[in-house]
Amino acid sequence: MAEPPAGDRMGVEPPEGMKHVCVYLGGHVGYRKRYVDEAEDLGRLMAADGVGLVYGGARVGLMGVLANAVLSNGGFATGVVPRQLAYQELAHEGLSRLYVVDTMHQRKYRMQSLCHGCLALPGGFGTIEEIFEALTWAQKPLLLHEKPCVFVNVDGYYDHLFRFLDHAAAEGLLLESNRALARQAPTATAALRDIQSAWDAEEEALQQMLREYRQ
């Protein structure tokens, strides 16, 4: 993807070669403790596996829970926040790296350009819009990226949404192959493992291509 418009950048650069997952998730914590538990599990696991977090940069809601879990376990967290939200003092002030951009569109573009895969934990309009934009960019015939996109379907939170996607495919308005891009996993751990296996498969395909090229 092309380099997005420059924003203000604060903090430090991630370790060389670090892979990043962009996580979309609620600006609220919701009513179920498991939403918070899953955000915490994900943050811990990302830090332990050396996977960097890219997210919306807020200190509130599940977003804040996740960023704090990454940071308190020694991980690397990048926030991308629109100036308007930074002015409202919703930006997390302790992130490893923070981009402040001018518009919501620049923000989504920057988040995508920094990551190697996307996850959606439970969330509302913002979360759903962001993961669907990532899916839209990945679908045929656009094919703007091939990053795995996984919904963390905590306690069936996204069941209705998946039923709707099946309906859209059955009605011929969503190609089955594009429907399959919207992956799901029951827990944050399983979702991160799914992304990591996609990275491994991609690496293996690359190595295979190189072996064939050298023969």
Choose between 24 and 99: whose C-beta lies nearer to ligand AMP: 24
CB of 90 to ligand AMP, least distance (A): 4
Query: Rule CB under 6 A: which of 89-128 touch ligand AMP?
Result: 90, 123-127
Alpha-carbon distance of 173 to 165, in angstroms, equals: 10
DSSP per-residue string spanning 28-66:
S--S-HHHHHHHHHHHHHHHHHTPEEEE--BSSHHHHHH
Is 81 among the residues that bind ligand AMP (CB under 6 A)?
A: yes
Q: Which amino acid is at 43?
A: G
Query: Rule CB under 6 A: which of 5-44 touch ligand AMP?
Result: 24-28
Choose between 169 and 184: whose C-beta lies nearer to ligand AMP: 184
Query: Rule CB under 6 A: which of 49-78 touch ligand AMP?
Result: 56-58, 60, 63
Alpha-carbon distance of 123 to 133, in angstroms, equals: 15
Is 85 among the residues that bind ligand AMP (CB under 6 A)?
A: yes
Please answer whether residues 42 and 192 qualify as being in contact, where contact means their C-beta atoms are separated by less than 8 angstroms: yes
Choose between 41 and 130: whose C-beta lies nearer to ligand AMP: 130
CB of 138 to ligand AMP, least distance (A): 17
Comparing CA positions, the residue from 66, 37, 39, 40 lying closest to residue 54 is 66
Please answer whether residues 145 and 112 qualify as being in contact, where contact means their C-beta atoms are separated by less than 8 angstroms: yes
Choose between 55 and 76: whose C-beta lies nearer to ligand AMP: 55
Binding site for ligand AMP (CB under 6 A): 24-28, 56-58, 60, 63, 81, 85, 90, 123-127, 130
